[in-house]
Structure 1
Amino acid sequence: MRETESEIADLQQLLDASHGTATSHLRDIINDRTRLTAADLATLLTGMKVLSVATVTASGEPRISALDGHFLHGTWTFGTSGTAAKAKHLTARPAVSVAHIDGERLAVFAHGRAEPMRDSDPDWDETIAHWTAHYQSNPLTWGPDIRMYRLRPHWMVGYAGDRDALLTNDATV
């Protein structure tokens, strides 16, 4: 868990606002019994998680692909090659939807913008160090044009099929 108290508070505010604007159908599914808090997400989403990231083509067609995601400071970071179709989509149209789903156990859904990370960003060194420690290899060495992104979510919800069991039995998912 790398989140500060302020980041947890900001994430909780986003989760609350998102849940409050959700449809009644979604609120029937993600309710007081199944809803995850910001502190829950920060505890559960450690290490690499497979993300489904949806982008949009120039003609408005959706595209989804799987990426390695790391939840740092209350949001997702992910990377890809600059030659990947998704990198081209993100450059032209940075709006994305992101999901991490682990069966009925855990799901996190978010909508927002994929923001390119730069070596001048205050959290750049920490992000690259985290990824490097996880993979035992600097992700920037994985190809000639590796791009790192941070999700700037404007909507996010977290779900656990059995929240109590998930939080009791698993330190991470």
Structure 2
Amino acid sequence: MMETADELTELQRLLDASHATSTAHLRGIIDADRTLSARDLAALLSGMKVLSVATVTAGGEPRISALDGHFLHATWTFSTSGTAAKARHVSARPAVSVAHIDGEQMAVFSHGRAETMTPEDPLWGETIDHWTAHYGSSPLSWGDDIRMYRLRPHWMVGYAWKRAELLAARGVPG
């Protein structure tokens, strides 16, 4: 868990605001007993998680693909080759939707903007170090034009079918 107290506070504000402004349909599914908190997410989302990342083509058509994601500092980081279609989409239209779904046990849904990370970013070194430790090689060594992204979410909800059971099974204090 790399989140600071301030990052967790901001994430909790985002989660609360997102849930409060969601449709009655969604709030009926993700009720108080099924809502994951910022602390829950930070604890549950350690390590690599498979993300579904949705981008939009120049013609306005949605495209979705799976990417490795790492939840760092209360948001997602993910990467792809600069030659991938999604890299072109994000460059031209950075609005994305990102979902991590762990079977029927839990899910995190986010909407926001993909921000290209650069070496000038204050969290660049820490992010690259984290990814390198996880994979055993730097993601920057995986090709000539590897892009690292961070999601700047404006909407996010976390869901657990049986929150108390999930947290207990995964050793997360409730």
Shorter-chain TM-score bucket reads over 0.9
Residues matched between the structures, number: 172
Number of the residue aligned with 1:69: 69
Asked whether the equivalents of residues 14 and 156 of structure 1 are also in contact (C-alpha less than 8 Å), the reply is yes
Give the distance between the partners of 1:161 and 1:30, measured in 2 at CA: 8
TM-score (norm 1): 0.98
Task: Give the fraction of aligned pairs with identical amino acids, expressed as a percent.
Answer: 72
Equivalent AA in structure 2 for residue 15 of structure 1:
L
Structure 1: gaps (5+ residues): none
Give the distance between the partners of 2:38 and 2:150, measured in 1 at CA: 17
Asked whether the equivalents of residues 43 and 171 of structure 1 are also in contact (C-alpha less than 8 Å), the reply is no
1:33 partner SS: helix
Number of the residue aligned with 2:52: 52
Question: Aligned runs of 1:19-168 on 2, under 5 Å?
Answer: 19-168=19-168
Instruction: Report deviation, 1:103.
Output: 1.3
> Which 4+ stretches in 1 moved above 4 angstroms?
none
Equivalent AA in structure 2 for residue 35 of structure 1:
T
Equivalent AA in structure 2 for residue 49 of structure 1:
K
Residue by residue, what CA displacement relative to the aligned partner does 1:69-117 show, whole Å, maximum 9, x if unpaired? 0000000000000000000000000000000001110100000000000
Give the distance between the partners of 2:96 and 2:82, measured in 1 at CA: 17
Instruction: Report deviation, 1:119.
Output: 0.3
Question: Aligned runs of 1:11-26 on 2, under 5 Å?
Answer: 11-26=11-26
